Amino acid sequence: MKPLAFAVMLATVTALLAQPKDAFPLWAKDTPGTLGSDPAKDIPTLTPFFPAADKATGAAVVICPGGGYGGLAAHEGRDYALWLNAHGIAGFVLKYRLGSAGYRHPVMMNDVNRAVRYVRANAEAWKLDPKRIGVMGSSAGGHLASTALTHFGAGKPDAADPIERASSRPDLGILCYPVITMGAFTHNGSKNNLLGKEPAEELVKLLSSELQVTKQTPPCFVWHTWEDKGVKIENAMEFAAALQRNGVPFDLHVYQKGPHGIGLGVKGWDPDKIPLAALHPWTHDLAVWLKVQGFAK
């Protein structure tokens, strides 16, 4: 083998070894705000999905599955990650803590912000670009993603934990039939699981993401369907209107067809058996938008 070819192979193997293959906890120990030690309920994790090395663009997205803050929909996690991989983007599926396990805000927000920080802090080791790390979510997971887009921090340069030194600001957001508001158009199940039955008005406003958009909010891709009976379409439209008012670039798509929770349009998607062209049209529009943002080639 020629020296150059061997060097390239060695570099590739080294990178793969550096990239985690299994789910890992967001905190090595002493998870803040924990109510217990049950791995299923009390320990938030990230499950990594890296694209093939010859397709990798260096971009990454943290994925927040939906489930009304009471569960986690697998097809809005793993399926999305595989779709991102097909476009050269690494996906990290977040298992965040839930209202059904007794958790309330700000625990969920802390989990997603930590997830973005974790990926950014490890970007060099994992061959990722720290300036191309996005967040994605569906339904209540879309609300959590919108929370990351509107409630982020620059990081603490002097923190003992190197992950806490990184910024939690995503570089873009992808919101799929999202819950956005805690106001009149909210999804009551998500609201109750996140904030409890009788939240203070200040808390309702704070977690209504359409009221928290600023000029610092990252660019977003937002989509919903006319047929959605689970989450009112006004959620997506009001968030897009807030982005417009603040001069934040966005794509807004409203499709006629598709029930709530449709995901890619095929649950349990197998990229080896079902072509990308067969998926719901939002995936094709998103692929174009990701190229415009420099996340995909």
Residues pairing with 135 in the sheet: 62, 173
What tokens appear for 167 in the block? 């910024």
Nearest in space to 33 (alpha carbons), one of 23, 24, 45, 42: 42
Instruction: State residue 18's pLDDT score.
Output: 84
Q: What is the rounded distance in angstroms from the CA atom of residue 242 to the CA atom of residue 244?
A: 5
Buried b (16+ CB within 10 A) or exposed e, 186-217: bbebbbbbbbeeebeeebbebbbbbbbbeeeb
Class of 45-265+278-292 per CATH? Answer: alpha beta
Q: What is the pLDDT along the chain (297 residues), one digit of tens a residue?
A: 444 344 333 333 334 448 999 999 999 989 999 999 999 999 999 999 999 999 999 999 999 999 999 999 999 999 999 999 999 999 999 999 999 999 999 999 999 999 999 999 999 999 999 999 999 999 999 999 999 999 999 999 999 999 999 999 999 999 999 999 999 999 999 999 999 999 999 999 999 999 999 999 999 999 999 999 999 999 999 999 999 999 999 999 999 999 999 999 998 999 999 999 999 999 999 999 999 999 999
Domain boundaries, the chain: 45-265+278-292
Neighbour order of strands in the sheet with 133-138: 24-25, 45-49, 90-95, 60-64, 133-138, 173-176, 220-225, 250-255
Contact between 55 and 244 (Cβ < 8 Å): no
Contact between 96 and 64 (Cβ < 8 Å): yes
